[in-house]
Amino acid sequence: MAMSPLGADAGNEPELMMEINTTPLIDVMLVLLIMLIITIPIQLHAVKLDMPVGPPPPQLVPPQVMKIDIDANDAIFFDAEPVANLVEAERRLQAMAALPPEAQPELHLRPDRLSKYSTVAGVMAAVQRNGLTKFGIVGSEQFIE
């Protein structure tokens, strides 16, 4: 049978498909993906902690607590004793940081609801700058509405 110069004989032979059939490739990729998912070990999202066993040891000396209050007028008080400004509060915190760690007092910060954020943040930054770690904010239930 002779071929015409323009292409395949249109009468007897079907046209050739010039595209790749991607269906078997997709099937193979899905099987590989499922095999990969099955063979990967299950990741546990847990943190292992070695917790102490038994009751905690009794404290020989109760910790000393220093209350830092900030009132609505942004006045700072250390154990009900007024402090002139943030610089004076920084000096007192530096003196506490100079003590050995076991002698450092626990600091309980109690800001008033109407005190400025800058004053409270300044005291907290001063505590952090001086490396005091026994620190907590007390009375935060007043901020819940």
pLDDT of 63 = 81
Lowest mean pLDDT among 4-8, 23-27, 64-68, 72-76: 4-8
Return phi, psi of residue 33, to 5°: -65, -45
Rounded mean pLDDT of the chain?
Answer: 85
Order of strands across the sheet that contains 76-78: 81-83, 76-78, 65-70, 106-111, 135-137
Residue 104 CA, distance from chain mean position: 28
What does the pLDDT read at residue 141?
79
Read off the pLDDT of residues 59-114 as tens digits, 9 standing for 90 and up.
777 888 999 999 999 999 999 999 988 999 999 999 999 999 888 899 999 999 89
